[in-house]
Protein backbone atom coordinates (compact mmCIF):
# COMPACT_ATOMS: atom_id res chain seq x y z
CA UNK A 1 0.00 0.00 0.00
CA UNK A 2 0.87 3.65 -0.18
CA UNK A 3 3.42 4.91 2.32
CA UNK A 4 3.47 8.16 4.24
CA UNK A 5 6.62 8.99 6.12
CA UNK A 6 6.66 11.42 9.01
CA UNK A 7 9.81 12.90 10.50
CA UNK A 8 10.95 13.24 13.18
CA UNK A 9 9.17 10.49 15.09
CA UNK A 10 9.95 12.21 18.34
CA UNK A 11 11.42 15.53 19.32
CA UNK A 12 12.22 17.31 22.54
CA UNK A 13 12.71 21.03 22.50
CA UNK A 14 12.98 23.98 24.84
CA UNK A 15 10.11 26.35 25.40
CA UNK A 16 10.17 29.22 22.93
CA UNK A 17 11.82 27.34 20.09
CA UNK A 18 10.17 26.29 16.84
CA UNK A 19 9.86 22.72 15.64
CA UNK A 20 9.22 21.52 12.09
CA UNK A 21 7.58 18.19 11.33
CA UNK A 22 7.64 16.77 7.82
CA UNK A 23 5.08 14.55 6.17
CA UNK A 24 6.00 12.90 2.89
CA UNK A 25 4.00 10.66 0.60
CA UNK A 26 6.68 8.29 -0.69
CA UNK A 27 5.04 6.55 -3.61
CA UNK A 28 2.05 8.64 -4.58
CA UNK A 29 1.00 12.22 -5.09
CA UNK A 30 -1.14 13.56 -2.30
CA UNK A 31 -3.65 16.16 -3.38
CA UNK A 32 -4.64 16.75 0.21
CA UNK A 33 -2.80 16.31 3.49
CA UNK A 34 -4.26 16.51 6.96
CA UNK A 35 -2.63 17.33 10.26
CA UNK A 36 -3.95 16.04 13.58
CA UNK A 37 -2.96 16.15 17.18
CA UNK A 38 -3.80 13.56 19.74
CA UNK A 39 -3.68 13.80 23.50
CA UNK A 40 -3.24 10.66 25.62
CA UNK A 41 -6.23 8.34 25.54
CA UNK A 42 -8.14 10.66 23.22
CA UNK A 43 -9.09 10.39 19.59
CA UNK A 44 -7.61 12.32 16.73
CA UNK A 45 -8.30 16.02 16.54
CA UNK A 46 -8.09 17.46 13.06
CA UNK A 47 -6.01 20.63 13.08
CA UNK A 48 -5.92 21.62 9.44
CA UNK A 49 -6.39 20.50 5.88
CA UNK A 50 -3.90 21.49 3.25
CA UNK A 51 -4.15 21.24 -0.50
CA UNK A 52 -1.02 21.46 -2.57
CA UNK A 53 -0.23 24.99 -3.62
CA UNK A 54 -2.86 26.71 -1.53
CA UNK A 55 -3.22 27.95 2.03
CA UNK A 56 -4.22 25.48 4.67
CA UNK A 57 -7.72 25.48 6.11
CA UNK A 58 -7.56 25.46 9.88
CA UNK A 59 -10.15 24.00 12.21
CA UNK A 60 -11.85 26.27 14.68
CA UNK A 61 -9.67 26.96 17.67
CA UNK A 62 -6.39 26.14 15.95
CA UNK A 63 -4.07 29.14 15.72
CA UNK A 64 -2.76 29.44 12.20
CA UNK A 65 0.12 31.66 13.30
CA UNK A 66 1.12 29.11 15.90
CA UNK A 67 0.90 26.05 13.68
CA UNK A 68 2.31 26.95 10.28
CA UNK A 69 1.49 24.50 7.51
CA UNK A 70 3.19 24.45 4.16
CA UNK A 71 2.21 22.12 1.32
CA UNK A 72 4.58 23.18 -1.41
CA UNK A 73 4.55 19.98 -3.40
CA UNK A 74 2.34 16.97 -4.00
CA UNK A 75 4.59 14.82 -1.83
CA UNK A 76 5.53 17.06 1.08
CA UNK A 77 3.71 18.98 3.75
CA UNK A 78 5.30 20.52 6.83
CA UNK A 79 3.90 21.56 10.18
CA UNK A 80 5.91 24.10 12.14
CA UNK A 81 5.04 24.64 15.78
CA UNK A 82 6.27 28.16 16.44
CA UNK A 83 7.40 29.39 19.83
CA UNK A 84 6.50 26.07 21.36
CA UNK A 85 5.25 25.87 24.93
CA UNK A 86 4.77 22.87 27.22
CA UNK A 87 1.04 22.80 26.42
CA UNK A 88 1.95 22.13 22.78
CA UNK A 89 3.41 18.79 23.84
CA UNK A 90 1.37 16.20 22.01
CA UNK A 91 1.36 13.48 19.38
CA UNK A 92 1.10 15.02 15.90
CA UNK A 93 -0.01 12.87 12.98
CA UNK A 94 -0.38 13.57 9.30
CA UNK A 95 -2.37 11.77 6.68
CA UNK A 96 -2.38 12.03 2.93
CA UNK A 97 -5.18 11.50 0.49
CA UNK A 98 -4.75 10.62 -3.15
CA UNK A 99 -8.04 11.81 -4.53
CA UNK A 100 -9.80 14.75 -3.00
CA UNK A 101 -13.00 14.03 -1.04
CA UNK A 102 -13.26 10.30 -1.60
CA UNK A 103 -9.71 9.04 -1.53
CA UNK A 104 -8.36 6.59 0.97
CA UNK A 105 -6.34 8.03 3.83
CA UNK A 106 -2.76 7.00 4.49
CA UNK A 107 -1.25 7.95 7.81
CA UNK A 108 2.23 8.86 8.90
CA UNK A 109 3.76 7.20 11.94
CA UNK A 110 3.24 10.26 14.06
CA UNK A 111 5.60 12.66 15.80
CA UNK A 112 5.73 12.95 19.55
CA UNK A 113 6.63 16.47 20.63
CA UNK A 114 7.75 17.23 24.14
CA UNK A 115 8.35 20.85 25.04
CA UNK A 116 10.37 21.40 28.18
CA UNK B 1 -23.17 15.99 20.36
CA UNK B 2 -20.45 14.58 18.14
CA UNK B 3 -21.11 14.20 14.45
CA UNK B 4 -19.71 10.67 14.68
CA UNK B 5 -20.55 8.44 17.63
CA UNK B 6 -18.88 5.12 18.35
CA UNK B 7 -19.84 2.33 20.68
CA UNK B 8 -18.68 0.77 22.83
CA UNK B 9 -15.86 2.99 24.09
CA UNK B 10 -14.06 0.05 25.64
CA UNK B 11 -14.34 -3.62 24.85
CA UNK B 12 -12.67 -6.66 26.32
CA UNK B 13 -13.06 -10.01 24.61
CA UNK B 14 -11.73 -13.52 24.91
CA UNK B 15 -9.58 -14.81 22.10
CA UNK B 16 -11.77 -16.33 19.40
CA UNK B 17 -14.83 -14.21 20.08
CA UNK B 18 -16.74 -12.37 17.38
CA UNK B 19 -16.49 -8.62 17.90
CA UNK B 20 -18.66 -5.78 16.64
CA UNK B 21 -17.91 -2.08 16.89
CA UNK B 22 -20.60 0.37 15.88
CA UNK B 23 -20.43 3.82 14.34
CA UNK B 24 -23.32 6.23 13.80
CA UNK B 25 -23.04 9.57 12.10
CA UNK B 26 -25.32 12.55 11.79
CA UNK B 27 -23.72 14.38 8.88
CA UNK B 28 -23.82 13.66 5.20
CA UNK B 29 -20.62 11.89 4.24
CA UNK B 30 -19.14 10.67 1.02
CA UNK B 31 -17.04 7.93 2.61
CA UNK B 32 -16.69 6.23 5.97
CA UNK B 33 -13.23 5.19 7.12
CA UNK B 34 -12.30 2.60 9.71
CA UNK B 35 -8.87 3.14 11.24
CA UNK B 36 -6.76 1.04 13.60
CA UNK B 37 -4.32 2.61 16.02
CA UNK B 38 -1.87 0.42 17.91
CA UNK B 39 -0.35 1.39 21.28
CA UNK B 40 2.74 2.82 19.61
CA UNK B 41 0.53 5.40 17.91
CA UNK B 42 0.77 4.34 14.29
CA UNK B 43 -2.52 4.42 12.40
CA UNK B 44 -3.56 2.10 9.63
CA UNK B 45 -6.53 2.62 7.38
CA UNK B 46 -8.55 -0.60 7.42
CA UNK B 47 -11.47 0.24 5.19
CA UNK B 48 -12.98 3.05 3.21
CA UNK B 49 -16.68 2.53 2.51
CA UNK B 50 -19.29 4.45 0.65
CA UNK B 51 -21.84 1.64 0.43
CA UNK B 52 -22.40 -2.03 1.14
CA UNK B 53 -19.80 -4.27 2.68
CA UNK B 54 -16.08 -4.94 2.48
CA UNK B 55 -14.05 -7.85 3.80
CA UNK B 56 -10.35 -8.17 4.44
CA UNK B 57 -9.18 -11.32 6.15
CA UNK B 58 -10.99 -11.58 9.48
CA UNK B 59 -12.27 -8.02 9.28
CA UNK B 60 -15.63 -7.06 7.80
CA UNK B 61 -17.02 -3.55 7.49
CA UNK B 62 -20.58 -2.69 6.58
CA UNK B 63 -22.37 0.57 6.03
CA UNK B 64 -26.06 1.46 5.83
CA UNK B 65 -26.36 4.84 4.16
CA UNK B 66 -30.06 5.29 4.94
CA UNK B 67 -29.56 4.60 8.63
CA UNK B 68 -26.21 6.44 8.74
CA UNK B 69 -24.62 3.54 10.50
CA UNK B 70 -21.53 1.44 10.00
CA UNK B 71 -20.17 -1.61 11.79
CA UNK B 72 -16.75 -3.18 12.00
CA UNK B 73 -16.71 -6.91 12.72
CA UNK B 74 -13.74 -9.01 13.74
CA UNK B 75 -14.14 -12.75 13.46
CA UNK B 76 -12.04 -15.19 15.50
CA UNK B 77 -10.46 -12.35 17.46
CA UNK B 78 -6.82 -12.58 18.46
CA UNK B 79 -4.71 -10.69 21.01
CA UNK B 80 -2.91 -8.92 18.17
CA UNK B 81 -6.25 -7.29 17.29
CA UNK B 82 -5.94 -5.30 20.52
CA UNK B 83 -5.91 -1.67 19.44
CA UNK B 84 -8.05 1.44 19.25
CA UNK B 85 -10.48 1.43 16.36
CA UNK B 86 -11.65 4.76 15.03
CA UNK B 87 -14.33 5.52 12.52
CA UNK B 88 -14.24 8.73 10.53
CA UNK B 89 -16.60 10.25 8.03
CA UNK B 90 -15.39 12.33 5.13
CA UNK B 91 -17.59 14.89 3.40
CA UNK B 92 -17.41 16.31 -0.07
CA UNK B 93 -18.11 19.86 0.99
CA UNK B 94 -14.89 21.39 2.30
CA UNK B 95 -13.29 17.93 2.45
CA UNK B 96 -13.97 17.74 6.16
CA UNK B 97 -13.42 14.72 8.35
CA UNK B 98 -15.32 13.89 11.49
CA UNK B 99 -13.72 11.41 13.87
CA UNK B 100 -15.34 9.15 16.38
CA UNK B 101 -13.80 8.99 19.85
CA UNK B 102 -12.49 5.50 19.25
CA UNK B 103 -13.13 2.06 20.69
CA UNK B 104 -10.36 0.54 22.75
CA UNK B 105 -10.33 -3.22 22.18
CA UNK B 106 -8.45 -5.68 24.34
CA UNK B 107 -8.44 -9.34 23.35
CA UNK B 108 -7.38 -11.66 26.15
CA UNK B 109 -5.65 -14.95 25.33
Query: A99: nearest CA in chain B?
Result: B95
CB within 8 Å: A45 and B100? no
Query: B86: nearest CA in chain A?
Result: A43
CB within 8 Å: A100 and B95? yes
Closest by CA position to A36, among listed A21, A22, A47? A47
Question: What are the tens digits of pLDDT across the range B43-83?
Answer: 999 999 989 999 999 999 999 999 999 999 999 999 999 99
Question: What are the tens digits of pLDDT across the range A21-72?
Answer: 999 999 888 888 999 999 887 888 889 988 877 889 898 899 999 999 998 8
Closest by CA position to A83, among listed A5, A8, A14, A3? A14
CB within 8 Å: B43 and A107? yes
Assess contact for B47 and B56: CB atoms under 8 A: yes
DSSP B94-107: GG-EEE---EEEEE
CB within 8 Å: A93 and B31? no
Question: How much is the pLDDT for B39?
Answer: 82
Please name the residues in contact with A97: beta carbons below 8 A apart, sequence gap of 6 or more: A30, A31, A32, A33, A34, A103, A104, A105, A106
Question: What are the tens digits of pLDDT across the range A81-116?
Answer: 999 999 999 999 999 987 655 577 889 999 999 999
Residues of A in contact with B30 (CB under 8 A): 101-102
Residues of A in contact with B39 (CB under 8 A): none
Question: Model confidence at B21, in pLDDT bands (50, 70, 90)?
Answer: very high
CB within 8 Å: A101 and B92? yes
Q: Which of A32, A93, A101 sits opposite B43 (nearest CB)?
A: A93
Residues of A in contact with B86 (CB under 8 A): 43-44
Question: What are the tens digits of pLDDT across the range A9-35?
Answer: 999 999 999 999 999 999 888 888 999
Question: How much is the pLDDT for B95?
Answer: 65
Which of the residues A93, A98, A101, A111 would you substitute to probe the B interface, choosing the one with the greatest number of B C-beta atoms within 10 Å?
Answer: A101
Asked if the bond preceding B24 is cis, omega within 30° of 0, the reply is no
Amino acid sequence: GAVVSQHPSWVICKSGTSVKIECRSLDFQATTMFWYRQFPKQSLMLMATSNEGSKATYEQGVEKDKFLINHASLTLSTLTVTSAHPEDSSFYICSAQMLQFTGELFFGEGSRLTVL
Amino acid sequence: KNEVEQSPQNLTAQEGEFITINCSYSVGISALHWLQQHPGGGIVSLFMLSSGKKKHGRLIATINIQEKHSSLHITASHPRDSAVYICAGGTRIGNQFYFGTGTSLTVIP
